[in-house]
Amino acid sequence: MLADRAPKVSSELQLLLESTAVLVVQVLAHIRGYADAAQEPQDFATSPALAVPIALARARMQQQDVDYWEINQAFSVVDLVNQQLLGLNPDR
Protein backbone atom coordinates (compact mmCIF):
# COMPACT_ATOMS: atom_id res chain seq x y z
CA MET A 1 0.00 0.00 0.00
CA LEU A 2 1.31 3.43 -0.84
CA ALA A 3 1.79 5.76 2.08
CA ASP A 4 -0.18 8.57 0.44
CA ARG A 5 -3.26 6.30 0.20
CA ALA A 6 -3.10 4.89 3.72
CA PRO A 7 -5.14 7.60 5.51
CA LYS A 8 -7.97 7.32 2.98
CA VAL A 9 -8.11 3.53 3.25
CA SER A 10 -7.93 3.74 7.02
CA SER A 11 -10.80 6.22 7.24
CA GLU A 12 -12.91 4.11 4.85
CA LEU A 13 -12.25 1.02 6.96
CA GLN A 14 -13.19 2.91 10.10
CA LEU A 15 -16.45 4.05 8.50
CA LEU A 16 -17.21 0.49 7.44
CA LEU A 17 -16.57 -0.82 10.94
CA GLU A 18 -18.72 1.90 12.48
CA SER A 19 -21.52 1.15 10.02
CA THR A 20 -21.48 -2.59 10.60
CA ALA A 21 -21.42 -2.16 14.36
CA VAL A 22 -24.87 -0.56 14.20
CA LEU A 23 -26.32 -2.91 11.59
CA VAL A 24 -28.46 -5.76 12.94
CA VAL A 25 -29.66 -8.27 10.38
CA GLN A 26 -32.10 -11.11 10.83
CA VAL A 27 -31.07 -14.15 8.82
CA LEU A 28 -33.90 -15.13 6.49
CA ALA A 29 -32.23 -17.99 4.63
CA HIS A 30 -29.12 -20.11 4.37
CA ILE A 31 -27.52 -21.15 1.11
CA ARG A 32 -26.48 -24.76 1.63
CA GLY A 33 -25.70 -25.78 -1.91
CA TYR A 34 -25.68 -24.63 -5.49
CA ALA A 35 -25.37 -26.06 -8.97
CA ASP A 36 -25.72 -25.11 -12.58
CA ALA A 37 -26.58 -27.08 -15.68
CA ALA A 38 -26.38 -26.37 -19.36
CA GLN A 39 -28.10 -27.87 -22.34
CA GLU A 40 -28.56 -27.12 -26.00
CA PRO A 41 -30.06 -23.65 -26.53
CA GLN A 42 -33.48 -24.97 -27.51
CA ASP A 43 -33.69 -26.76 -24.13
CA PHE A 44 -32.51 -23.88 -21.91
CA ALA A 45 -35.86 -23.62 -20.14
CA THR A 46 -35.48 -27.02 -18.47
CA SER A 47 -31.89 -26.59 -17.24
CA PRO A 48 -32.96 -25.77 -13.66
CA ALA A 49 -34.60 -29.21 -13.46
CA LEU A 50 -31.13 -30.68 -14.03
CA ALA A 51 -29.39 -28.36 -11.57
CA VAL A 52 -31.81 -28.75 -8.64
CA PRO A 53 -31.00 -32.42 -7.92
CA ILE A 54 -27.27 -31.64 -8.07
CA ALA A 55 -27.63 -28.74 -5.62
CA LEU A 56 -29.75 -30.85 -3.28
CA ALA A 57 -27.21 -33.68 -3.35
CA ARG A 58 -24.34 -31.28 -2.60
CA ALA A 59 -26.30 -29.91 0.34
CA ARG A 60 -27.28 -33.42 1.48
CA MET A 61 -30.94 -32.42 1.31
CA GLN A 62 -34.15 -33.54 -0.34
CA GLN A 63 -36.91 -31.50 -1.95
CA GLN A 64 -39.13 -31.73 1.10
CA ASP A 65 -36.37 -30.10 3.17
CA VAL A 66 -36.72 -26.85 1.20
CA ASP A 67 -39.18 -24.26 2.51
CA TYR A 68 -39.16 -21.88 -0.45
CA TRP A 69 -38.11 -22.25 -4.07
CA GLU A 70 -36.93 -19.47 -6.36
CA ILE A 71 -36.08 -20.16 -9.96
CA ASN A 72 -34.71 -16.85 -11.11
CA GLN A 73 -35.04 -16.54 -14.87
CA ALA A 74 -35.99 -13.79 -17.30
CA PHE A 75 -38.84 -15.80 -18.79
CA SER A 76 -41.80 -16.88 -16.64
CA VAL A 77 -42.17 -20.10 -18.63
CA VAL A 78 -38.88 -21.33 -17.12
CA ASP A 79 -40.35 -21.22 -13.63
CA LEU A 80 -43.60 -22.84 -14.72
CA VAL A 81 -42.04 -25.71 -16.67
CA ASN A 82 -39.56 -26.50 -13.88
CA GLN A 83 -42.29 -26.47 -11.24
CA GLN A 84 -43.99 -29.11 -13.34
CA LEU A 85 -40.84 -31.18 -14.04
CA LEU A 86 -39.71 -31.16 -10.42
CA GLY A 87 -43.18 -31.51 -8.90
CA LEU A 88 -42.77 -28.29 -6.90
CA ASN A 89 -45.65 -26.67 -5.05
CA PRO A 90 -46.17 -23.24 -6.68
CA ASP A 91 -47.12 -21.79 -3.29
CA ARG A 92 -43.64 -22.53 -1.97
Supply the pLDDT for residue 12.
Answer: 57
Any residues with CB less than 8 A from the CB of 33 and at least 6 apart, and which? Answer: 55, 56, 57, 58, 59, 61
Q: What is the pTM of this model?
A: 0.65
Q: Which residues of the chain have pLDDT under 50?
A: 1-3, 5-6
Any residues with CB less than 8 A from the CB of 65 and at least 6 apart, and which? Answer: 56
Supply the pLDDT for residue 2.
Answer: 46
Supply the pLDDT for residue 15.
Answer: 59
Supply the pLDDT for residue 62.
Answer: 92
